[in-house]
Structure 1
């Protein structure tokens, strides 16, 4: 994804600041919303969670390395902050969900049909808030910025899916990989930008 980002930046002749931003997007870990999308798409949620967790842990040292190699400048990462965020936003809710399912399965089963709607609305509000705070910069760059950002996510999904298919994986695993590859942690990206 970082190399794809760099290629798109060159293709669209982005300036150095936008190139750095696009490479940063390509380097980001999987977002927690990918787990929700995997659930909605009938993918392998356990695999999605493991991929998100692995890329989140890897982001603490890979983002500075990738930015140094591809851009010649390092991006400082707050490893302790990422660890705390992972615990708060990822591990605690996951553990709470597992405990609720174990000890209050009837209540959880009754609520399950609503979880996709609640998850999508919550995600839209959170991401929408972050985008709104940067809307003037996004609109000022126009399609020069919007096309490469859109393409990195679309091409990431296609690459994630087809790489798994070519590796002999089944449809569900491939779909999960495509979703996980294309959906990035908007929260970390917003903090680093």
Structure 2
């Protein structure tokens, strides 16, 4: 399984950046703020909502979580390198401060949670019920912070939002489709293939928004936030469709089994 995970992770870090660059160039040209935000959404690790959608859609949750964990650990290395490669010629990116920023955003909260759980094991039980609310509040805080910074820019460029929305829908949708096709090419089981759809299709758009805002400006962060909205809506729709499809097949199998038993009796 670990070999399949590593193979999928390598392709994820190839597929998502290429699609991000192609969509950015196609819709906004080279080295514009919006293009940089689109690219950033394609070069960050997969988002936690990928695990949730895998669960809803009948995917292999263990496969999804393992891939997300590997993504998270290699993200602080690959994301700055890819940012330097794809947008560094248009915007000066200091590599090590960028790495340190990712470590603070991704690893410090993770390490803090691990330490708290190891020292205070009862805290895990107490905080478990509040974790979804706390994560949602943190997400809303990021969105409000970025949107408030970009309010003037959005007011002057409100007409561009529709085009950005179309671009991110195309970006996320293309990543999901290619993720599914790649899963088929690997000949993995259906549940793992479903998880791969979300692992390749859904990015950590909150991280992309923070990094875009700090490095490229608020307009770039708006593109990442719209990617977040698309992740939640399109990802949820695809997961629900997968669930309905799986239930329909299961019911059809049960009905056919019942008919066969009746005929035999």
- Please state if 1:176 is matched with 2:192: no
Match of residue 160 from structure 1: 179
Q: 1:151 to 1:60 in 2, by over 3 A?
A: same
Offset of residue 173 of structure 1: 0.7
Backbone CA RMSD of aligned residues:
3.5
* Structure 1 residues not aligned, in runs of 5+: none
TM-score of the aligned structures, taking structure 2 as reference length:
0.55
Task: Choose 1 or 2 for highest CA Rg.
Answer: 2
Match of residue 66 from structure 1: 82
Per-residue deviation, residues 148-191 of structure 1 (Å, max 9, x unmatched): 11211111111111101111011111110111111111221122
Offset of residue 129 of structure 1: 3.8
Moved more, 20-29 or 76-85: 76-85
* Structure 2 residues not aligned, in runs of 5+: 1-15, 213-265
Q: 1:28 to 1:175 in 2, by over 3 A?
A: same
Per-residue deviation, residues 109-149 of structure 1 (Å, max 9, x unmatched): xx8xxx9x979966874675466446645672222322211
What secondary structure is seen at the aligned counterpart in 2 of 1:142?
A: helix
TM-score of the aligned structures, taking structure 1 as reference length:
0.72
What secondary structure is seen at the aligned counterpart in 2 of 1:12?
A: helix
After TM superposition, the structure 1 = structure 2 runs for residues 144-155 of structure 1, keeping only pairs within 5 Å, are 144-155=163-174
Offset of residue 84 of structure 1: 5.2
> How many equivalent pairs are there?
183
CA contact (8 A) 1:38 1:45 kept: yes
